[in-house]
Amino acid sequence: MVVITRDRYVVFQVLSEEDLPNLSLIKAKIWDEYQKIFGISGTTGAGLFFDNYKEGGTGIIRCDHKALSNLMAILSRITNISNKDVILIPLYTTGLVNKAKSYLKTLEKQIIKELSEGNRNGRS
C-alpha cells in the first residue's frame, strides 16, 4: 500500500535581546522538548526537518501534518536556549514548500529594511 505523507512547513522567527542561537542549538532544544512531552515515538512520528535557517533568525521547519499542533505547542513552550532568553514565533504555516520559501524571502527583506531604518534612527 502506498502511504502519502502530507507535510506542513512552518516559517518561524527567533527573537532575543542577546546574540541569536545557531541552528544546531535550536534543533537540539526543539528535539529535546518534543521528546520530553510526546516521547521518542511521538518525536520520530513528527518527522521534523529544519531548513533555510538564516542569520536574521528566520527559518522553516517541516513536519507531518498530524504533528503540526504538537510542534506549535513545543515552539510555544521554549523560553530559553543555552541560558539565553529567546522566543520562537511561528509566523506562517503552509503545505507548499515554495510558498513557505517565498514568504521567508519577503520576511527577510522586511527584517533587513527594519534593521537599516533602526540603524539610521540610531545614528541621528
Nearer of residues 1 and 33 to other proteins, judged by Cβ:
33
Contact between 3 and 20 under an 8 Å Cβ cutoff? The reply is no
> Residue 90 interacts with other proteins (CB under 8 A)?
yes
User: Chain-centre distance of CA 73, in angstroms?
Assistant: 12
Closest CA to 75 of 6, 12, 22, 9: 12
> Residue 72 interacts with other proteins (CB under 8 A)?
yes
Contact between 49 and 100 under an 8 Å Cβ cutoff? The reply is no
> Residue 107 interacts with other proteins (CB under 8 A)?
yes
Handedness of CA 103, 68, 52, 17 (dihedral sign): positive
3-state helix vs strand vs coil in the chain, percent to 5 = 50, 25, 25
Nearer of residues 25 and 107 to other proteins, judged by Cβ:
107
Stretch that binds other proteins, among 20-28, 43-51, 59-67, 86-94 (CB under 8 A): 86-94
DSSP conformation class of 21: P
Site string for other proteins, 7-46 (x = CB under 8 A): ------x-x-x------------------xx---------
Amino acid at 76: S
List 44, 110, 116, 119, residue binding other proteins (CB under 8 A): 110
List contacts with other proteins (CB under 8 A): 13, 15, 17, 36-37, 69, 72-73, 75-77, 79-80, 85-87, 89-92, 102-103, 105-107, 110
